């Protein structure tokens, strides 16, 4: 049956990963990401450092309007960078692998000050974007957009997708795609790369709260997307 309900949790996480997914996680040395899913940083431009464009009260800071209602990320296993530093510089870019799997099939709503280019490798997922950076503050009117990422470009699926700084993003696997697949059919889940420009730092990242979701999209849409809010 076709997948109709866009913002309803399509299935519960499985209690364990398939053998193929476990093998992929260990081959790529992926770690649990606090947004949901797994990741590993594969590149940081240590030899190309630029001034931090997001220092306080910069007009280019997409969080300048509304930091008070948001929760900050606190730590990620295996990541040794300082948290909460007021740093003057940024790496020009960072790159990660990011995997959604049957056991961890959704990435909760969060945003970054930096822009992120996403590149598809395997599987399919739906992305939901709240265009909070272009919202005028009128309750319930924030523009919502969603699309499917995958190989079927003829059917409208995307292989590349840019998410500009200041927008909230969530992602989740589609029904059927999270089930354990026969060997040879590939890994269950969705594997992508993300290139963050300027490079990712915890201080540039935050999660969407329930109250802010209601303010942005209104109570009805917020109820539909509640399961994508980080607890
Ligand atoms: N999300 C996108 N890029 C990164 C990164 O480099 N580190 C972490 N922890 N999360 C990210």
DSSP state for residue 23 in the 8-state scheme: H
Percent of the chain with pLDDT over 90: 73
The residue among 124 and 66 whose pLDDT is bigger is 124
CA of 172 to the centre of ligand 1 (A): 17
C-alpha 219 to ligand 1 mean position (Å): 30
Residue 82 in any domain: the answer is no
Please give the residue range of the domain that contains residue 174.
19-58+89-228
Q: Is residue 170 part of a domain?
A: yes
Does residue 86 register a pLDDT over 80? Answer: no
- Ligand 1 contact via 200 beta carbon (within 6 Å): yes
Q: What is the CATH number of the domain that holds 167?
A: 2.60.120.10
Domain annotation covers residue 75: no
Residue 13 located in a structural domain: no
Asked whether residue 12 is assigned to any structural domain, the reply reads: no
Query: What's residue 70's pLDDT?
Result: 44
Question: Does 73 sit in the ligand 1 pocket, CB within 6 Å?
Answer: no
57-65 CB contacts, 8 Å cutoff, 24+ apart: 61/113, 62/111, 62/113, 62/133, 62/165, 62/166, 63/111, 63/113, 63/166, 63/206
Structure confidence at residue 178 (pLDDT)? 59
Our answer on whether the CB atom of 203 is closer than 6 Å to any ligand 1 atom is: no
Q: Are 230 and 110 in contact (CB under 8 A)?
A: yes
Count up the domains in the chain and report the number. 1
pLDDT tens column, 178-229: 554 444 455 579 999 999 999 999 999 999 999 999 999 999 999 999 999 9
Q: Measured in angstroms, how far is the CA atom of residue 66 from the centroid of ligand 1?
A: 22
Between the CA of 168 and the centroid of ligand 1 the distance, in Å, is 15
Place of tokens 């606090």: 34
Domain assignment of residue 40, yes or no:
yes
- Kindly state whether residue 23 falls inside one of the protein's structural domains: yes
Instruction: Answer for the pair 207, 110: CB distance below 8 angstroms, yes or no.
Output: yes
Nearest CA to ligand 1 atom 1: 200
Q: What is the mean pLDDT of the chain?
A: 86
Ligand 1, from 34, 39, 82: best to mutate by most atoms within 8 Å of Cβ?
Answer: 39
User: Would you place residue 87 in the very low, low, confident or very high pLDDT band (cuts 50, 70, 90)?
Assistant: confident
User: Is the pLDDT at 66 greater than 70, yes or no?
Assistant: no
For the Cβ of 45 lying below 6 angstroms from any atom of ligand 1, the answer is: no
Is position 69 within any domain? Answer: no
pLDDT reported for residue 7:
87
Distance between Cα 51 and ligand 1 center (Å): 19
Q: Is the pLDDT of residue 149 over 90?
A: yes
The pLDDT of 92-112, averaged and rounded, is: 97
Q: How far is CA 59 from CA 52, 54, 55, 89, in A?
A: 13, 9, 9, 17
């Amino acid at each position: 049956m076709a997948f109709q309900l866009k913002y309803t949790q399509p299935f519960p996480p499985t209690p364990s990963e398939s053998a193929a997914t476990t093998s992929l996680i260990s081959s790529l040395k992926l770690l649990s990401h606090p947004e949901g899913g797994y990741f590993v940083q594969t590149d940081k431009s240590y030899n190309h450092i630029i001034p931090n464009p997001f220092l306080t009260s910069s007009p280019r800071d997409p969080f300048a309007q509304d930091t008070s209602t948001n929760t900050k990320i606190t730590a990620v296993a295996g990541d040794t960078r300082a948290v909460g530093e007021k740093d003057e510089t940024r790496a020009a870019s960072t790159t990660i692998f990011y995997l959604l799997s049957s056991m961890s099939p959704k990435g909760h709503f969060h945003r970054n000050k930096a822009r992120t280019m996403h590149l598809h490798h395997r599987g399919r997922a739906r992305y939901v974007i709240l265009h909070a950076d272009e919202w005028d503050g009128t309750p319930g009117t924030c523009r919502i957009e969603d699309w499917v990422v995958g190989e079927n470009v003829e059917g409208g699926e995307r292989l590349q997708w840019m998410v500009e700084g200041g927008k909230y993003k969530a992602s989740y696997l589609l029904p059927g795609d999270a089930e354990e697949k026969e060997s040879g059919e590939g890994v269950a889940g969705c594997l992508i790369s993300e290139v963050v420009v300027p490079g990712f730092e915890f201080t540039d990242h935050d999660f969407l709260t329930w109250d802010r979701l209601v303010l942005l999209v209104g109570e009805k849409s917020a109820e539909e997307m509640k399961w994508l809010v980080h607890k």
